[in-house]
Every structure is written in structure tokens, then in C-alpha cells.
């Protein structure tokens, strides 16, 4: 199952602790940025590109809302297992920016890179909070038996996609 393989990849990549400090070389920082972007890209592929259920013209929000709906002839246990894959992948990916050292601004930095680093700083605060909300909402569904509300999952995935964009634009500062 492609989603299971991708989920394992996301878990392994997101749990690697590879904090790059201010004294590291730009090449080392770039490798760390690339590794973190790969974690989010893996999530993006597994959720948005992988299952193949997205119809042409369907927005990401509509698609993700369909993910958390109980499907026809789906048992409660099968629903919970399926949604748990999505939630687990999103929760594990939410740590992608944890421990990323933000380089000091340099005189020769590109404006898009500076903006990306500012976005990363902002996302470092929002991702853990959003992940906590999703985890709480998912645990609540176990006790109530009701389907998961799509809002926390959509919010977290949108933040993670924003992190992917910021990581793609972030460059090691050259001084």
C-alpha cells in the first residue's frame, strides 16, 4: 500500500534530529533544508497525489473534506483506520520545522529567501499548536464515535504546505 510506505517514510524522516547550528556551513544548512522539504513533499504526495481520488477542478479543501467522511459500506473500524493514516502522517510531518536553526540575516541575501525565513519562524509557532488541535479532535472521535471534523486536518495540511513553500524558497544566508 503506497500510503503505508509513504507514512513510514514521513515518520522516519521527521524523527531524524539534524539540527544545524549557526556555525554550520551553507551547504550543511541547505542539506537540512532539503531534508525537511522532502518530509513535507512526501506528505503532499501521499495525501494529495497518491490515492488518486481527486477529481479535476476539485480544491484541496474539498478533497480533504472527502477524506474524513465516512464512505458508503465502510465500517466504523475501517473508517478509523483509514483516517488514522492521514492524521498520523500530518502529525508526524508537523515537527518538520522543529529545531531548524534560523541563520542570521546577511547583507547579500535574496529578498525571497529573507521572506521565506520569516515565514518559517511564524510557522514554527503555528504548526505544533495546529497539530495538537488535530490530535485532540481525532482522539475525541474515538470517544464519541462521530466522524472527524475536516477543519483541523485541513488547517494543519495547509500550514505544512506553506512550510514546504517556505523551505523551497529559503536559502542559506551568505553574509
User: pLDDT of 95-128, one tens digit each?
Assistant: 888 888 777 776 557 777 888 888 988 998 898 8
Each residue's pLDDT tens digit, 41-91: 888 777 776 655 677 788 877 887 877 788 788 888 888 888 888 888 888
Cell numbers for 146: 462521530
CA distance 135 to 87: 8
Identify which of 107, 99, 90, 94 has the alpha carbon closest to the alpha carbon of residue 33.
99
- Cell 503506497 locates to 2
Contact between 164 and 40 (Cβ < 8 Å): yes
Structure-model confidence comparison of residues 43 and 2, the more confident one: 43
Q: What pLDDT, on a 0 to 100 scale, did the predictor assign at position 19?
A: 40
What number of other Cβ atoms are within 10 A of residue 9's Cβ? 18
Phi-psi region of 130 (alpha: psi -120 to 50; beta: other; left: phi over 0): alpha
Q: Taking the C-alpha atoms of 20, 23, 26 and 30 in order, what is their torsion angle to the nearest 10 degrees? A: 0
Is the dihedral angle over the CA atoms 159, 164, 168, 170 positive or is it negative? positive
Amino acid at each position: 500500500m503506497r500510503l503505508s510506505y509513504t507514512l513510514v517514510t514521513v515518520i522516519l524522516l521527521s524523527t531524524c534530529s539534524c539540527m544545524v547550528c549557526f556555525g554550520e556551513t551553507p551547504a550543511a544548512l541547505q542539506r537540512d533544508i532539503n531534508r525537511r522539504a522532502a518530509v513535507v513533499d512526501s506528505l503532499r504526495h501521499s495525501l494529495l497525489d497518491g490515492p488518486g481520488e481527486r477529481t479535476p477542478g476539485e480544491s484541496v479543501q474539498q478533497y480533504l473534506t472527502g477524506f474524513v467522511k465516512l464512505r458508503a459500506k465502510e465500517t466504523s473500524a475501517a473508517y478509523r483506520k483509514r483516517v488514522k493514516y492521514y492524521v498520523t502522517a500530518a502529525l508526524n510531518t508537523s515537527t518538520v520545522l522543529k529545531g531548524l536553526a534560523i541563520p542570521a540575516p546577511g547583507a547579500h541575501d535574496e529578498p525571497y529567501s529573507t521572506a521565506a525565513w520569516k515565514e518559517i519562524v511564524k510557522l514554527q509557532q503555528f504548526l505544533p499548536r495546529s497539530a495538537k488541535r488535530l490530535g485532540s479532535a481525532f482522539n475525541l472521535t474515538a470517544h464519541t464515535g462521530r466522524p472527524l471534523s475536516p477543519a483541523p486536518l485541513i488547517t494543519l495540511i495547509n500550514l505544512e504546505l506553506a512550510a514546504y513553500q517556505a523551505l523551497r524558497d529559503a536559502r542559506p544566508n551568505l553574509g
